[in-house]
């Protein structure tokens, strides 16, 4: 799907399209080629995670606006850190921190790469349709720009501005040119080279050439 400016959006894709993507992904590289790709990229060779059916209740608001929190994302291609913007987006960061502390993201993958735009992950279904069993809504500021390193939450095109579940994306272009529709989470504060490494693994149908696993997401205070 594209926004009015012709740029592909970080949406949760429709079921029919998702099915086609899964079929295409199943026709990918063999084990030997996957090992070679992983080695050349500096990533661990991992398998595609099985879909997870996890339903959680919506969290209570425990994050304080302005509180300093950092999400440490450990992946099979390295680690990176996200400075959560608790001041501007207290509800969104609260939800993300809650999911991380519940271990929701552990074992999921980065299932979508738009080359030169974003890398996207956090889908328990693995096909672009999954979520945590609840959604929250926190519209971003009208002047928000999705520039390199910004981290925001994905949503369906028809959903209200700022709606989010668990899927998030990291911007890899200087300016993705998206309208201010996607809830702000924060910005990559360390380890952007890992994000770049993941972005360079783009393959067919917006899927990575090899599985890229989110091994663990932890939340650090201070």
In tens, the pLDDT along 154-206 reads 999 899 999 999 999 999 999 999 999 999 999 999 999 999 999 999 999 99
Q: Does the pLDDT value for residue 222 go beyond 90?
A: no
pLDDT digits (tens, 9 = 90+) for 1-53: 545 334 577 776 443 333 333 333 333 444 589 999 999 999 999 999 999 99
What mean pLDDT do residues 68-91 have?
98
1 domain residue, yes or no:
no
Distance, C-alpha 156 to centroid of its chain? 14
Residues 6 or more apart whose Cβ sits within 8 Å of residue 114:
8, 10, 120, 202, 206
- What's the start-to-end Cα distance of the chain, in Å? 38
CATH of the domain at 132: 2.40.100.10
Distance between CA atoms of residues 192 and 94, nearest Å: 23
The dihedral built from the CA positions of residue 160, 109, 74 and 210, taken in this order, carries a sign that is negative
44 domain residue, yes or no:
yes
124 domain residue, yes or no:
yes
The whole domain housing 82 covers 15-221
Strand partners, 78: 75
22 domain residue, yes or no:
yes
Distance between CA atoms of residues 30 and 33, nearest Å: 6
179 domain residue, yes or no:
yes
63 domain residue, yes or no:
yes
199 domain residue, yes or no:
yes
Residues 6 or more apart whose Cβ sits within 8 Å of residue 37:
29, 201, 209, 210
CB 137 within 8 A of CB 130: no
**pTM beyond cutoff 0.85:** yes
4 domain residue, yes or no:
no
Distance between CA atoms of residues 74 and 77, nearest Å: 8
Domain count along the chain: 1
């Amino acid at each position: 799907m594209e926004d009015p400016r012709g740029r592909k959006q970080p949406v949760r894709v429709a079921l029919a399209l998702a099915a086609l993507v899964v079929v295409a992904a199943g026709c990918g590289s063999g084990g030997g080629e996957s090992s070679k790709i992983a080695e050349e990229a500096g990533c661990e060779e991992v398998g595609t995670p099985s879909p997870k059916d996890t339903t959680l209740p919506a969290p209570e608001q425990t994050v304080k606006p302005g509180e300093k929190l950092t999400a440490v994302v450990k992946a099979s291609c390295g680690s990176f850190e996200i400075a959560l913007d608790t001041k501007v987006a207290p509800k969104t960061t609260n939800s993300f921190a809650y999911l991380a502390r519940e271990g929701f993201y552990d074992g999921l993958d980065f299932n979508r790469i738009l080359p030169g735009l974003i890398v996207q992950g956090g889908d328990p279904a693995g096909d672009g349709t999954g979520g945590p069993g609840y959604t929250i809504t926190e519209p971003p500021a009208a002047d928000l720009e999705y520039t390199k390193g910004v981290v925001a939450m994905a949503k369906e095109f028809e959903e209200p501005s700022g709606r989010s579940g668990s899927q998030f994306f990291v911007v890899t272009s200087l300016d993705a040119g998206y309208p201010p529709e996607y809830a702000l989470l924060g910005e990559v504060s360390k380890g952007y080279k890992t994000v770049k490494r993941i972005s360079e693994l783009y393959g067919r149908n917006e899927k990575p050439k090899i599985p890229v696993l989110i091994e663990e997401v932890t939340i650090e205070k201070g």
